[in-house]
Every structure is written in C-alpha cells, then in structure tokens.
Structure 1
Amino acid sequence: MGHGHGHGHAGGDRRRLAVALAVTVAATVLGAIGAALTGSLALLADLGHLLTDAGALVAALIAAALAGRPASMERTYGLGRVEVLVAGLNALALVVVVVWVVAEGVGRLVEPAEVPGLPMLLIGALGLVGNVISLVVLAGGDRRNMNLRGAALHVLGDALGSVGVILAAVVLMTTGWPYADTVASLLIAALILPRAVTLLREVWHVLLEGAPRHIDVAEVKAALLAVPGVAGVHDLHVWAINDRRPAMSAHVVVTPAARTGCGEGSVLDHAGAMLRERFGVVHTTLQVEAHAHAHHEDHCG
C-alpha cells in the first residue's frame, strides 16, 4: 500500500512543480522588465533569486521525471544523483548572484542611484502575489517529498525578496531616502547566502557518501547487534543516493545457532525489517557470515 501511495503522489507533485515553475517564469519576466525600466538594484537582486529558483524548480521537475526510470547495467543506482548535481549548480549560481549584488550595492552606497518608487512597488506586489500562488500550490503536495519541500523553500525565499522590494519602494515614495533600494538589495543578498551555503554543504555531504543527517550510524550498529543471533557487525556503511534514498551495507557475524536462511525469524529478514521500520532504510545489503569467517577478513575495526 505504501508503494502505491508514493507513486500516486508522484504525478500530482510533478503537476504542482510545473504550475509553480510557470508562475516563477512569469514573475521572472516581469522582474526583468521592471529592473530594466527602473534600474532598481533590489529588483535585480530579486531577479537573480527568481532565476536560480526557476532553475531549482526545473531541477525538481527533472528529478521527479527521472526518479521513475529503472536502473541499468551502466547506472546501477539509476539517475537519482542528477538532482544532487543540479542542486549544487543552483547553489553556486546563488553565490554568484550574492557576490554581484553585494559588489554593486557597495558601489551604490558611495553613489546612490535614483530609482522610481511606484514601478518598484507595483512589480514587487505582483511578484509577491505570484510567490503566494506558488506556495499554495506546492503546499498541497506530498509533504514527505524533500524535493517538493526544497522547491517550496526556494519560493518562500522569493516571497521574502518581494517583501523587501515593496518595503524599499514604500520608503522611497514616502521619504525619498536614496539608499532604500540599495539597503533592500543587500538584505535580500543576506537572505540568499545562508541558503546557498547550506545547500552546497548538503550536496558536498551526499557526493562524499556521507551518512544521512537523520541517521545515527552508531545507533544503526547498536540496533543490528540487538537482533537475535547477531554476534558482531563490521564494515558498516550508510550513505545516500539522493536526499530521499538512504542506503546501507554491512557484514553481520552470526552465532552458530542463528537462522541464516530466509523467512520469518531469520537474521537477514529480521535485520532488514528493523532497518526499514526504524531508520527508513529500504536499500540494504547485508552479508551474513559465521564467526570463523569474520577472522579471515581484512576489515575496519
């Protein structure tokens, strides 16, 4: 039942991502026109954010489409890592946008530019409406899908950027303070940078075969040792194919009286069921071996 439920959500989640992407592209075009007409650095900063988020939504759509493709003899894990690689490119793009906005903003603090407030206000408000629509659409999807939640976080960042543009426009219109646009752009950049760094760290961790953050490897080992018939565990590895597909392999040393075959009560089935239910690890490779065999292996202590 769980397997069918996941596939039932997949098509709907792809449609939600497609709708959010269409709204984001429309907001990007509007922001580009507004930035060109007004010269607003805040709109340019928000535009950069929109472009990277459009890329993130495209990556999410691609990942959702590729997730259903079967593995092959050349790619035995399938194409699950595509979304990880694209996420890394998106994060690098975010960092480039931040560096450019900060450099431009520092220059405008020395020589402030004149920016019309009313066009900024209108474009920022329309952008915010688009962000809210996208958030509502994405919020109706499968909340267990980290790909979908990541896309929603990007759109939320866009919404905050639009709020910054609106506030800058209001300050410009009411006080005429020439630095409002520049300050708003620097605040948007400060909002983007932590997300970009966090995303880069996550991509780096996955590509280096790091254990998923939500899985304590020491706890996994202790749980395996608690399985009846298990006398030892070594060569334990836990990694992630992508952010939703953890995997694990280990050598399990069993006692002479342990059931090493298949079926209810066997060490293999007991351990596999425990790993699925307790840690959510479905892809497991367990080598069951006798105590005498373990002493003939060159393995980690």
Structure 2
Amino acid sequence: MAEWSHHYAPVNGLTMHYVEQGDGPLLVLCHGFPHTWFSWHRQIGALAAKGWRVVAPDMRGMGRTSAPADWRAYDCDHTVGDLLGLLDHLGEQRAVFAGLDFGVLAIYDLAYRHPERLTAIIGLENPHWPDRPEKTPLAEAAEWARTHFVHIHDFVSRDDSHAELDANPREFLARVYYALSAEYHYLDVWKHPPGTRYIDALPPAPPLPWRWLSELELEFIVADYAASGFAGGINWYRAMDLRWHQRAPFRGRRCAVPFYFIGSVHDVDLEAWHGPDPIAEIKTQYEDVRRVEMVEGAGHLMQLERSGEVTRIMGEFLDDIAGRSAVS
C-alpha cells in the first residue's frame, strides 16, 4: 500500500482517478460495477513486483472518476475513448489490459476497434460480449422481468433507482458482494416477484469480517460510493442497448488480440449471461487463445475471494506475455 501512488488526470473529458505502482511494461486493470480500483488492491503490488507498471483506474462514473449525468455518455465511443485517453496520458502506445464485468467488456470494445493498442487481454469471468444478436440486452431483461425480479430491469426502469442505494451504500454493497460470492447462489434473487426493489431482493449479509473480505476493505469502497453515489454505475446499464447497436459491425468476427481467461466455478455471469457453454465459445470469439483457467471456490468477485490463486494465474499469464514479447 505504501508504494501506491494516486493520480487525477484529464482523460477524454473526465477527471480520471487511477492508482499506479511499479515500472516496466504497462498493465491496466479495469473493474466493474459496483466496484472501484480497490477491487484489485491485492493484485497491484504483487504484479508490480514481477516487473510491470500496474495502473488501476476508477472507470467512468464510479469511484473518484467523473460521473456524467447523461447515460448516453457511457456508450462504446466514450468508454473506449477513456482507455485510449488513459494510454495517451501515461505516454504508452500499448498495454496488457485485464478486466472483469463492465471493465472487461470495455476492453473487448477497445480490442475490436484499436487492436494495435493492446499487447494482450486477460479476461476475468466475462469471456466475451453477452450480446444476443437477435435481441437487445434491455429488451431481454424486460422480457425476463415479466415473471421475476431482474436487477438490470430494476435499474433502468426507474429514474430514481440509484436513490435508495445512495441512501445506504454500505448495506447495498455488503449485500450485493455477499450475493455475488460463492457463499450464495446469486440467481436465487430471481425468486422474487416482478417489481421487487434490488435491495429487497438481495439476501442479508452476514457480519464482517468474511473469509475473503474485512470490514476495513469494504469501508474503502463504501467511502467512494458514499461520495459519488451509484447513478454513474447504473448509467452503464442504461447504455447497454446503445453499446449493443455499436457492436454490430464487429459481431461474428473473431478478435485478433492474444487472449487469456480466468473464470470461477460459481460465477453468475458465466451461469446466466454468456450462453449455454461460454468456455467452449471462447475459441469462436478469439483467434489467439493462449490459456483458459477455472478457479474453484469463488463467485463473481474472484480477485478478492481467491486472491492468491488469481494473482498467481495472472502472474503466469504475464510471464508468458513477457516471454513471447521478448522473443518477438
């Protein structure tokens, strides 16, 4: 922690906050929702010690990075522009990008549009876009929501969906982190009827500390969302259909950037949002699949739930990338 440096930079019309440690080739770690750069805090130092310049930004609308009010400012043009702008600000032509959730989906958009700016991709949990070509994601969520609660539809169907989360960020974050973990089956929230509010659909969280998260660690993330609110993060959901349309020119094409993947056995996204066999689908999406690893005993927040194993695997991936780069 003592070697982290915090920065605020003008990037693509935002004030972007990021944390940096180390020297060497650039590795950018991109988080999802409702996370912040801090979800990578157990990996940053270890990967920097392997000879990498590690940068973990707060993504658009979350943490200490600016949160535009207009949901259309969360489309592919803007989120890809953020990553390009960060590279330019850091003075780097290219980087290894690693990410999870919305963060890794933004990386995939960058890889299709500007493959020359990526050395490799390390994807966690989300192996490819979850888009169905025949139906927009918000239309699909609305269809599911006719029979049961769906968090995506809850977020986008009410203008004030962020208000109750803003009122008690600690309770929401504790509940959703527990629900996303291997200790709970997240899809049990679908047992609630249509119209249920997200906070009510989530299970009560057991008292901290947990096996994989301390009270102080949660407080770091609570403090950021208490300051920013959740509207920016929810705008990523509101823009899902817009991003779906913007991805149309690339749908059906395989990504050429070297690809590495880590999934967890209990991840809800792999269970519900990436088709019947998402791991098998990887080779139809990428031309150069280097390694695929699955982690036991973790849910969606794998880099916290199984920190040591995830860090070890990422380190092995980076060794492979560095070795191949040296040969080439």
TM-score of Structure 1 vs Structure 2, range by shorter chain: under 0.3
If the length of structure 2 is used for normalisation, what is the TM-score?
A: 0.20
Q: Which has the larger radius of gyration?
A: 1
If the length of structure 1 is used for normalisation, what is the TM-score?
A: 0.21
